[in-house]
């Protein structure tokens, strides 16, 4: 029942947002940009390829915050990640975020990047979920998916990540252990745009309302 409630919540949020938020245009995935290994492993996934609700599909939108081009901003309240472009534009991706008590907020940078990374559950995750292995090798059904960006503050790994997922049905929900999940296709797209040192701004809870205000003509209020 909890899974059904989450899915219904995502659908309801999507319907509400679709009525008041209009992207400049949606960006289709171009599989021609995938590496041979990406195509091979994505063809082997066992999870259901659940379509992402329209409001959470990758799109180019107007962007009027102060973050510099080339940086990332995460609006956890509204389940969006923005990659800032030039000329007041951004690529907006739908994401899964952590439950409020587990979520990361603040300013970090990309300190490391991995393709098809291994998953090493943290001590906190082991405490909350019994029976997990110490390491899960990277692959088509790994929880970190196709790509991972490791968030650092100074020289310290925060243990929070922006990464792919083997649960695309939860894009638009707040259920993760704190990390920011994207579809594998979106994770590959973002990964190809960033570099080590990229600034990542994650808004505090209840600070994303301004990003949800859309005047219907392609501009944020």
**What are the structural domains, with CATH classification, of the chain?**
2-212 (2.40.440.10)
Residue partners of 5: CB distance under 8 A and separation at least 6? none
pLDDT in tens, 31-75: 888 999 999 999 999 999 999 999 999 999 999 999 999 999 999
pLDDT band at 148 (very low <50, low <70, confident <90, very high): very high
Does residue 21 carry a pLDDT above 60?
A: no
- CB atoms closer than 10 angstroms to residue 20: 12
pLDDT band at 100 (very low <50, low <70, confident <90, very high): low
Does residue 105 carry a pLDDT above 80?
A: yes
- At residue 35, the pLDDT reads 96
Closest CA to 175 of 5, 6, 1, 4: 6
| Rg of the Cα atoms in the chain | 17
pLDDT in tens, 179-195: 999 999 999 999 999 99
Query: Is residue 25 flagged as an active site residue?
Result: no
Q: How far apart are CA 56 and CA 123, in angstroms?
A: 31
Angle ∠(82,43,192) on CA atoms, nearest 5: 30
pLDDT band at 152 (very low <50, low <70, confident <90, very high): very high
Mean pLDDT, the chain, whole residue set: 83
Residue partners of 45: CB distance under 8 A and separation at least 6? 140, 141, 166, 184
Does residue 161 carry a pLDDT above 50?
A: yes
Q: How far apart are CA 189 and CA 95, in angstroms?
A: 13
Return the percent helix, strand and coil in the chain, to nearest 5. Answer: 25, 30, 50
Query: What's the mean pLDDT in 10-19?
Result: 44
What are the backbone dihedrals phi and psi of residue 103, each rounded to the nearest 5 degrees, phi first?
-75, 145
Query: Is residue 179 flagged as an active site residue?
Result: yes
Helices (H), the chain: 2-20, 36-42, 123-128, 184-191
Q: How far apart are CA 49 and CA 68, in angstroms?
A: 34
């Amino acid at each position: 029942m909890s899974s059904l409630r989450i899915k219904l919540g995502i659908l309801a949020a999507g319907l509400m947002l679709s009525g008041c938020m209009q992207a400049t245009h949606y960006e289709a995935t171009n599989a021609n940009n995938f590496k041979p290994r990406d195509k091979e492993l994505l063809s082997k996934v066992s999870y259901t390829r659940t379509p992402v609700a329209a409001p959470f599909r990758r799109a180019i939108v107007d962007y009027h915050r102060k973050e510099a081009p080339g940086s990332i901003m995460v609006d956890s309240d509204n389940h969006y990640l923005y990659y800032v472009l030039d000329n007041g534009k951004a690529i907006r991706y739908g994401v899964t975020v952590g439950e409020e008590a587990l979520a990361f907020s603040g300013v970090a940078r990309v300190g490391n990047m991995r393709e098809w990374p291994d998953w090493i559950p943290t001590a906190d995750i082991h405490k909350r979920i019994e029976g997990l292995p110490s390491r899960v090798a990277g692959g088509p059904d790994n929880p970190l998916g196709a790509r991972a960006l490791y968030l650092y503050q100074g020289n310290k790994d925060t243990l929070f990540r922006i990464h792919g997922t083997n649960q695309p049905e939860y894009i638009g929900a707040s259920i993760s252990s704190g990390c920011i999940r994207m579809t594998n296709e979106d994770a590959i797209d973002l990964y190809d745009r960033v570099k080590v040192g990229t600034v990542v701004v994650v808004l505090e809870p209840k600070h994303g309302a301004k990003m949800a205000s859309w005047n219907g003509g392609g501009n944020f209020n």
